[in-house]
């Protein structure tokens, strides 16, 4: 017979996480927000000349109407990150219940 010890706080952890705003219900359903209108990123000319490629993750905050209210690029190259952020700022998402955080992956490939 195996006895498993659990903390008395383990039962309340999900409620505490939601109560303190660490994880909001909108963030749990972020994948439900469909993109209605996309703007393709412009590959920066300097990055093309230098043969810089890569991908940028853009953390995007979307309001209830589907408008993008905040973007934060997470990439290793600032030139590509800025281009990805500029494009995603102009995207439009489907309306939803409250604010959502959506992660978008933008790939830059200099294959021409």
How confident is the model over 88-102, as pLDDT tens digits? Answer: 999 999 999 999 999
Q: Is the pTM of this model over 0.75?
A: no
Whether the predicted pLDDT of 12 surpasses 80: no
Rounded distance between C-alpha atoms, residue 20 and residue 27, angstroms = 14
Q: Of 50, 57, 58, nearest to 110 (Cα)?
A: 50
Report the CATH fold assignment for 24-108: TolA/TonB C-terminal domain (3.30.2420)
Rounded distance between C-alpha atoms, residue 62 and residue 69, angstroms = 6
Whether the predicted pLDDT of 87 surpasses 90: yes
Whether the predicted pLDDT of 105 surpasses 90: yes
How confident is the model over 51-62, as pLDDT tens digits? Answer: 999 999 999 999
């Amino acid at each position: 017979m195996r006895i498993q010890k659990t903390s008395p706080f383990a039962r309340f952890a999900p409620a505490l996480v939601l109560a303190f705003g660490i994880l909001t219900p909108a963030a749990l359903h972020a994948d439900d927000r469909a993109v209605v209108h996309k703007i393709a990123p412009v590959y920066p000319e300097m990055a093309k000349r230098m043969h810089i490629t890569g991908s940028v993750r853009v953390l995007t905050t979307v309001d209830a109407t589907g408008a993008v209210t905040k973007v934060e690029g997470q990439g290793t190259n600032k030139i590509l990150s800025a281009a990805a952020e500029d494009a995603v700022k102009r995207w439009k998402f489907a309306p939803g219940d409250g604010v959502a955080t959506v992660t978008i992956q933008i790939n830059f490939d200099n294959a021409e």
